[in-house]
Chain A
Amino acid sequence: MRYRLTTGFFAFILNRLSGVILAVFLIPHFFSLYFIGDAARYEAIRGFYDTPVMRFSELALLGIVLAHGLNGIRLILLEAGAPTRLQKVFFWTALSAGALILLISIPHMMWGAR
């Protein structure tokens, strides 16, 4: 089979790549929480994440979560028997919903507005 750059193939690669990135990220994420029993140490680690660069990285991580999660819902719906002709509609709906959520999250994650 030859690979073709269709919407479906792009969605597949996106899902796979984002899934692997998220899985790898779990390890440092758990590690940084490991010192929760020691408030001073926990706060020292958290201080490292509370810089503009790290905040922005976290925002990027939310983007990856959204890409994987919303695309995952699309896959589950199709597997469960939703008509395949809706495939592209689902993809673009997921993409715009994700973009919207990410946009709304920017002030909350970068500057702490709520």
Chain B
Amino acid sequence: MKKAAFGWLLSRASAVVLVAGLAVHFSANHFGRPNASEHGIVMMRLAHPGWMAFYAVFLLAIIYHAAYGLWGIALEYLKKGRVLSAVKSALVILSALLVIAGLWILSDTQMLLANPPAPCYKCHSAGSTAGTIPSGRALRIFQ
């Protein structure tokens, strides 16, 4: 397969991943105020490897998709030359930084889980609804 066609296919594949990923992400973290994104609850969720895997895939898909989309816009408006190469470098650097930041955030949660300040996140979360993860009915399978 040609390189350009593969990149294109990947952008469409990532878009499909994002549809499912955004539905899960919004219902888990942005639905059900006030505590859906409370620290203890996020921690309990991320104690499960399924959620870690989900966020790793979601992260890569979103960064790839956004960078590919912005690059497409740049190609449309800019002629080949210095400015276009500068945009390309900026996009590559920014994407790399965001992937690193995302992985850093994920690894930070695992360090905290391995080394919890009292109380244990896996048993109860600090100051939240003890022992339950308010992340929507469909997501209870992860508990």
Contacts and interface: CB of A to CB of B under 8 A. Distances in A.
Given A36-B108, A111-B33, A69 B18 contact: yes
Interface of A: 16, 19-20, 22-23, 26-27, 30, 33-34, 36-37, 39, 42-43, 46, 50, 55, 58, 62, 65, 69, 72-73, 76, 79, 105, 108-114
B123 to A, nearest CB: 16
Contact of B32 (A22, A23, A30, A114): A114
Contacts of B16: 76
A16 B98 CA distance: 21
B33 A55 contact: yes
Nearest to B125: A39
Contacts, number: 84
A69 B104 CA distance: 27
A114 B136 contact: yes
Q: Interface residues of A: mostly helix, strand, loop or mixed?
A: helix
Interface in B8-28: 12, 15-16, 18-19, 22, 26
Contact of A36 (B31, B32, B36, B109): B109
A49 to B, nearest CB: 8
A42 B16 CA distance: 31
Instruction: Summarize B's interface: helix, strand, loop or mixed.
Output: helix
Given A26-B66, A105-B26, A105-B31, 20 more contacts: A19-B66, A20-B70, A26-B98, A30-B105, A34-B104, A36-B39, A39-B39, A39-B40, A42-B39, A43-B39, A46-B38, A46-B39, A50-B33, A50-B34, A58-B30, A69-B19, A72-B19, A112-B34, A112-B35, A114-B31
Contacts of A113: 32
B62 A26 contact: yes
A73 B22 CA distance: 14
A20 B62 CA distance: 13
B42 interface: yes
A31 B22 CA distance: 19
